[in-house]
């Protein structure tokens, strides 16, 4: 077994590998860029080596620097994590030339499966079902248009070396191809150093299902069941679960055996994943097609670990050291259900725009339970795993992937795992930048998710107008009104005690007018009850002013609410929705009708940069006439290109930015007349 390994990656996956290596008694070496000098993975490792500036192209993607760090520290092997150099044949070859073991598959398998064009050719030759499409070199945009017209719309354009949702565009017509082809090429070149693109038919009502593969160097290859990864946004996975609610035992066996056969054909060993696209329109569930093979560990590997009990990182290390797998296919049972939500630095309330910045507050949910069930308003959740690589006070940088953490829950059933996600997400505290916690919380409650009727179009279909918070029923409003009245009374009582602000004899008001989501409630606190419109609410809670989170019991069921006070009430966040709750003493509430409404300024004539990023392209100039929907500019943030379009027809009055400039959020790019 190795005595020391180096992790050629960063963030949560570096932390994840270090934890397993430490448990195995293996020393670890971290490599880090300027941006990651204080990152948790650097602190966790036994040794750390600085490898360059923040941009990945100047640090994590330079193989020579990784190899030099191995020589400097005496690391015998390298775990590449995912992304960066994990699927670069040149990196694996360079390590082999230096006598350093690559904790991953053989070079031949990486080469065969890592190139999407070549992998489809090989899969077809091996008798594997492949999606209809053009497998070959595409010369230019006109060639792409001809190919797409021949295949028939809709089509998917993909960077050949792509992954993680990067370098992908869905085209419903010729116009979409003309607008998107060059962006796909640029994203492929910027993210993977390869601008080749292929085009294939887009399967309607598709489900994205993948099979986890694990093999050793002695010819043993297993499939560790499947994962459902259909809930995606912009082809980037958001929610993953294992097993899939769609896959039957017969289908699982057919998929698994086919994926093992494909792996065996390329001499595969280590962990890998075969991704399949499944037609949800086929009631038999037998129409599945090879999509690609990822010759590395997947981001969503924890859900497989949760239902199989297999530590995939440990197995990768043992396989790289030459050990045989200690388990057989018959050992690969399914125990319970696991769900993973990716917590991203993006703001769903602003069209999922990337959100970079400092984590002013970062408190992930607490696994397990404290003795009394809650502490400082924070309640533990059993069956929870959090994989992260950030820390409170740290920065989420524009240079890397926007994922903050992975929240994994396990339950005996799918509903139990989903309920634990809701409880854990309610207790997940992030401040300082936008995040998608409310959004994934809403998904966990969505009737369609609960039914298991999933496709890759779930988000677009269920949130066509964007995300504005989870739906709130009247019962939840009444509960929040009761909580708000309790909080207001506690705050008023605190004010009375501090410096005699309300006088010695004056009791705090206990009758409140609470307005939430357009509904107004009369809330009264008595010695024994909290009354809402004269009816008692079964609620138990403790609150000290200044506390940011409240753990309640409502009708005997736990509920966690994030609390942010403001002058006339509270912002209460729970169950995937933010509620601006106005709380006024009942005696003065009627005076609000005399307040003047503040009208926000009209910004419709400005093209405003919606996120910090690089202005890649500017398509118009001063004096140009534009039509509604016309692309005006392209901004790149967190390795993704975002096309900014005209909201209405008009004429460009002034241009305030140039292509190649780094822009701050809300920077004015151009002004219309």
C-alpha to C-alpha distance for 532 and 482, rounded to whole angstroms: 6
Whether residue 269 contacts residue 217, with contact meaning beta carbons closer than 8 Å, is answered with yes
User: Do the Cβ atoms of 398 and 636 come closer than 8 Å?
Assistant: no
Yes or no: say if 537 and 527 are a contact pair by the CB < 8 Å rule.
no
Asked if 459 and 258 touch (Cβ cutoff 8 Å), the reply is no
Residues belonging to the active site: 292
408 to 54, 243, 387, 422: CA distances (angstroms): 29, 14, 8, 11
Long-range pairs for 184-189 at CB < 8 Å and ≥24 separation? 184/157, 184/158, 184/159, 185/159, 186/616, 186/641, 187/159, 187/162, 187/639, 187/640, 187/641, 188/159, 188/160, 188/161, 188/162
Query: Which pair of tokens denotes residue 469?
Result: 């918070």
b/e 269-301 (16+ beta carbons within 10 angstroms → b): bbbbbbbbbbbbeeeebeebbbbbbbbbbbbbb
Q: By three-state DSSP, how is residue 269 classified? A: coil
Q: What is the biggest distance separating any 2 CA atoms in the chain, rounded to whole angstroms?
A: 88
332: three-class secondary structure by DSSP: coil
Tokens 């602000």 found at: 501
- Report cis status (omega within 30 of 0) of the bond before 243: yes
Q: How far apart are CA 50 and CA 425, in angstroms?
A: 35
Nearest to 81 by CA among 167, 11, 4: 11
Give one DSSP letter per residue of 103-170, joined into a string: SS--HHHHHHHHSHHHHHHHHHHTT--B-SEE-S---SHHHHHHHHHHH-SSEEEEEEEEETTEEEEE
Q: How many CA atoms lie within 13 A of 287 on its CB side?
A: 13
Provide the token pair at 305.
């670990």
Shortest CA distance to 181 belongs to which of 155, 204, 205, 206? 155
C-alpha distances out from residue 105 to 111, 325, 518, Å: 10, 15, 58
Question: In the 8-state DSSP scheme, what is residue 173?
Answer: S
Q: What is the DSSP letter of 461?
A: H
β-partners of residue 202 are none
The rounded distance, in Å, linking the Cα atoms of 516 and 578 is: 10
Is the bond preceding 579 in cis, omega lying within 30 degrees of 0? no
């Amino acid at each position: 077994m190795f005595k020391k390994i180096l992790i050629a990656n960063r963030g949560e996956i570096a932390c994840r590998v270090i934890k397993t290596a430490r448990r195995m008694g293996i020393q670890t070496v971290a490599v880090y860029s300027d941006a990651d000098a204080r990152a948790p993975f650097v602190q966790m490792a036994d040794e750390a080596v600085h490898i360059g500036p923040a941009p990945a192209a100047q640090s994590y993607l330079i193989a020579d620097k990784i190899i030099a760090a191995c020589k400097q520290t005496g690391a015998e092997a390298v775990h590449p994590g995912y992304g960066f150099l994990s699927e670069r044949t040149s990196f694996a070859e360079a390590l082999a030339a230096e006598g350093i073991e690559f904790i991953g598959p053989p070079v031949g398998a990486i080469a065969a499966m890592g190139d999407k064009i070549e992998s489809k050719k090989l899969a077809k030759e091996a008798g594997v079902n492949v999606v209809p499409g053009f497998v070959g070199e595409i010369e230019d945009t006109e060639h792409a248009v001809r190919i797409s017209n021949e295949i028939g719309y809709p089509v998917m354009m993909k960077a050949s070396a792509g992954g993680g949702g990067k370098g992908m565009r869905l085209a419903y017509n010729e116009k979409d191809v003309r607008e998107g082809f060059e962006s796909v090429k640029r994203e492929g070149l910027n993210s993977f150093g390869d601008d080749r693109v292929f085009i294939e038919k887009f399967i309607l009502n598709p489900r994205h299902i993948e099979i986890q593969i694990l093999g050793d160097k002695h010819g043993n290859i297993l499939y560790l069941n499947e994962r459902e990864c259909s809930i995606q946004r912009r082809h980037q996975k958001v929610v993953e679960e294992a097993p899939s609610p769609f896959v039957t035992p017969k289908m699982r066996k057919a998929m698994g055996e086919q994926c093992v056969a494909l792996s065996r054909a390329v001499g595969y060993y280590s962990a890998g994943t075969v991704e399949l696209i499944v037609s949800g329109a086929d009631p038999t569930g037998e129409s599945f097609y090879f999509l690609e093979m990822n010759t590395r560990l997947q981001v969503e590997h924890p859900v497989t670990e949760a239902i199989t009990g297999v530590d995939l990182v440990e197995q990768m290390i043992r396989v790289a050291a030459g050990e045989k797998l200690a388990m057989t296919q018959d050992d690969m049972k399914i125990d319970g259900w696991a769900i993973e939500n990716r917590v991203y630095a993006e703001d769903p309330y602003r069209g999922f725009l990337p959100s970079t910045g400092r984590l002013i507050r970062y408190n992930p949910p607490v696994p397990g339970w404290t003795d009394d069930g809650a502490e400082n308003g924070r309640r533990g959740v059993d069956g929870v795993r959090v994989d992260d690589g950030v820390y409170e006070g740290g920065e989420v940088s524009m240079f890397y992937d926007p994922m903050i953490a992975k929240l994994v829950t396990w339950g005996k059933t799918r509903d139990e795992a989903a309920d634990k996600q809701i409880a854990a997400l309610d207790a997940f505290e992030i401040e300082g930048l936008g995040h998608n916690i409310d959004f994934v919380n809403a998904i966990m409650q969505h009737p369609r998710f609960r039914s298991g009727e999933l496709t890759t179009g779930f988000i677009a279909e269920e949130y066509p107008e964007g995300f504005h918070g989870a739906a709130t029923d009247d019962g939840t409003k009444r509960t929040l009104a009761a909580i708000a009245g309790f909080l207001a009374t506690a705050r008023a009582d605190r004010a009375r005690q501090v410096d005699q602000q309300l006088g010695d004899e004056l009791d705090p008001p206990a009758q409140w007018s609470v307005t939430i989501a357009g509904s107004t409630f009369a809330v009264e606190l008595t010695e024994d009850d909290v009354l809402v419109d004269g009816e008692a609410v079964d609620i138990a809670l403790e609150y000290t002013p200044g506390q940011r989170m409240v753990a309640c019991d409502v009708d005997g069921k736990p509920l966690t609410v994030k609390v942010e006070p403001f002058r006339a009430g509270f912002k209460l966040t729970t169950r995937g929705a933010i509620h601006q709750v106005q709380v006024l003493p009942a005696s003065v509430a009627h005076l609000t009708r005399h307040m003047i409404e503040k009208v926000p300024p009209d910004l419709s004539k400005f093209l405003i940069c919606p996120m910090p990023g690089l202005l890649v392209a500017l398509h118009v100039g001063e004096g140009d006439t534009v039509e509604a929907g016309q692309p005006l500019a392209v901004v790149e943030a967190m390795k993704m290109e975002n096309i900014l379009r005209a909201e209405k027809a008009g004429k460009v009055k002034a241009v305030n930015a140039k292509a190649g400039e780094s822009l701050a959020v809300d920077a004015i790019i151009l002004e219309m007349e």
